[in-house]
Amino acid sequence: MNSHDVQTGPAPFDPLTALREAGHPVDLLNERQRQVFAELSRPEVELLNSIKTRLDEAAGEVEGQELKLV
């Protein structure tokens, strides 16, 4: 390989993109809050995504029920 050849590897991890793709509303946060999320590690983002998935699954079960109060 010549010194002027460009090596392309995997793109660096972008926490905000990963969170957006999982459906987290990070764009509704203020700049300081987004900065906190932007500094998360891959394992932290994976944990948040896992929790969101579980909450979404539980919400689907609850939202599917009708409650009538007399």
| pLDDT value of residue 9 | 78
Name the average pLDDT for the chain.
85
pTM of the model: 0.69
Average pLDDT over residues 14-40: 96
User: Over the stretch 36-67, which tens digit does the pLDDT of each residue have?
Assistant: 999 999 999 999 999 999 998 888 665 555 65
**More confident: 70 or 31:** 31
- Can you give the three-state secondary structure of the chain, one letter per residue? CCCCCCCCCCCCCCHHHHHHHCCCCHHHCCHHHHHHHHCCCHHHHHHHHHHHHHHHHHHHHHHCCCCCCC
